[in-house]
């Protein structure tokens, strides 16, 4: 038993070490465009594994990511921009004095972004998790809309629909990749603990979980707040990567994309969420050639913008037809190496 755990730990360390090496190799050797995509993949990995915690592992259908990512992005942007830069770019209304005073370094900005998101998640969970059913999906869907509308209609804080620009570009592959590794590690640690077991139990049979003494309200709240925290951090990284954010960035499509990722990878599997991110975010870039004119030898097709989304949807339909549980199902990486056991 002990030896198995040790072996597992060695494998984990090897994976982390090779990921770190890859981050170093990519940021020193790859061109800017590739690094950009890798940055996106890293950020979406953070978002996907955390979204999967509430949606896949705990089985509470939720549509929250765009709301919390928006909050994280705005909090980080406001903390990173200095007073002069804010004063300069707030065109619609002049900012509140306290908005000008907000200032923190990158680490604290990300931390506040996450904390603020999870505090909001905590307040949402009190009304939502007292009842069962799909209320969470409805409430979080509405929450996303509300956040967007608040961002548009409070130009004194958010600069309205113009958004925030010239955010210092702190995000690089070391930050995004490093935090992604930490996020995956942390989420896997949760999943492989009594809390993760309780989350799965809530997903499988909530009544039976209660009959085992599990405080299901607490477990659901933990999962939701953890998701929100990492989504806030991911939003912060995104803001510091894109250098400009606006309310239009955080529409429902953002959540939808993450939903595709975790369903494709396999709801409930953290490994699947990572694979799904690489396929969807990386694949969407790779499939860009589909939008362009194509020469098939016999005939030439004109440029068709959006063609890759059509192909993408087709792939998704095929995955759902032939692998309904997604690529990984509910399995993790380690389950693939177990022999003769399911």
Binding site for other proteins (CB under 8 A): 1, 186, 189-190, 193-198, 200-201, 203-205, 207-216, 222, 268, 330, 338, 341-342
What's the per-residue H, E or C state across 103-134? CCCHHHHHHHHHHHHHHHHHHHHHHHCCCCCC
Dihedral sign of CA atoms 241, 242, 247, 250 in order? negative
Nearer to other proteins, 86 or 203 (CB): 203
Residue partners of 44: CB distance under 8 A and separation at least 6: 234, 258, 261, 277, 280, 281
DSSP output for 222-267: HHHHHHHHHHHHHHHHHHHHHS-B-GGGGSHHHHHHHHHHHHHH-T
Distance in Å, CB of 225 to other proteins, minimum: 10
- Could you give the CA distance from residue 340 to residue 129 in angstroms, rounded to a whole number? 39
- Could you give the CA distance from residue 152 to residue 150 in angstroms, rounded to a whole number? 5
Nearer to other proteins, 34 or 193 (CB): 193
Nearer to other proteins, 29 or 342 (CB): 342
Nearer to other proteins, 198 or 279 (CB): 198
Distance in Å, CB of 196 to other proteins, minimum: 8
Nearer to other proteins, 29 or 341 (CB): 341
Distance in Å, CB of 336 to other proteins, minimum: 15
Distance in Å, CB of 214 to other proteins, minimum: 5
Q: How many residues does the chain have?
A: 342
Distance in Å, CB of 129 to other proteins, minimum: 13
- Could you give the CA distance from residue 73 to residue 246 in angstroms, rounded to a whole number? 9
Nearer to other proteins, 77 or 263 (CB): 263
Structure tokens at 68: 């919390």
- Could you give the CA distance from residue 307 to residue 151 in angstroms, rounded to a whole number? 32
């Amino acid at each position: 038993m002990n030896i198995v755990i040790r072996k597992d730990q060695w494998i984990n360390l090897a994976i982390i070490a090779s990921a770190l090496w890859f981050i170093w190799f990519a940021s020193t050797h790859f061109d800017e465009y590739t690094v950009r995509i890798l940055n996106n993949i890293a950020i979406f990995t953070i978002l996907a594994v955390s979204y999967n915690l509430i949606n896949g592992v705990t089985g509470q259908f939720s549509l929250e990511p765009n709301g919390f990512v928006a909050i994280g992005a705005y909090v980080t942007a406001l903390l990173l921009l200095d007073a002069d830069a804010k004063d300069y770019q707030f065109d619609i209304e002049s900012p509140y004095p306290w908005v000008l005073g907000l200032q923190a370094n990158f680490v604290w900005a990300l931390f506040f972004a996450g904390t603020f998101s999870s505090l909001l998640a905590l307040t949402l969970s009190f009304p939502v998790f007292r009842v069962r059913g799909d209320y969470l999906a409805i409430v979080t869907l509405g929450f996303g809309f509300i956040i967007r509308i608040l961002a548009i209609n409070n130009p004194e804080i958010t600069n309205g629909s113009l958004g925030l620009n010239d955010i210092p570009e702190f995000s690089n592959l070391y930050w995004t990749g490093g935090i992604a590794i930490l996020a995956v590690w942390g989420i896997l640690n949760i999943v492989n603990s009594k809390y993760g077991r309780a989350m799965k139990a809530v997903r499988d049979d909530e009544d039976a979980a209660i009959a085992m003494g599990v405080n299901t309200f607490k477990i659901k709240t933990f999962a939701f707040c953890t998701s929100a925290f990492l989504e806030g951090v991911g939003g912060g990284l995104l803001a510091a990567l894109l250098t400009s954010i606006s309310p239009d960035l955080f529409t429902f499509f953002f959540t939808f994309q993450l939903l595709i990722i975790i369903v494709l990878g396999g709801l409930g599997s953290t490994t699947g969420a990572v694979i799904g991110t690489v396929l969807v975010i990386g694949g969407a870039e790779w499939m860009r050639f589909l939008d362009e004119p194509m020469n098939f030898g016999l005939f030439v097709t004109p440029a068709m913008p959006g063609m890759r989304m059509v192909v993408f949807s087709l792939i998704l339909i095929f995955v759902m037809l032939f692998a309904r549980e997604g690529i990984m199902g509910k399995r993790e990486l380690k389950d693939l190496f177990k022999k003769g056991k399911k």
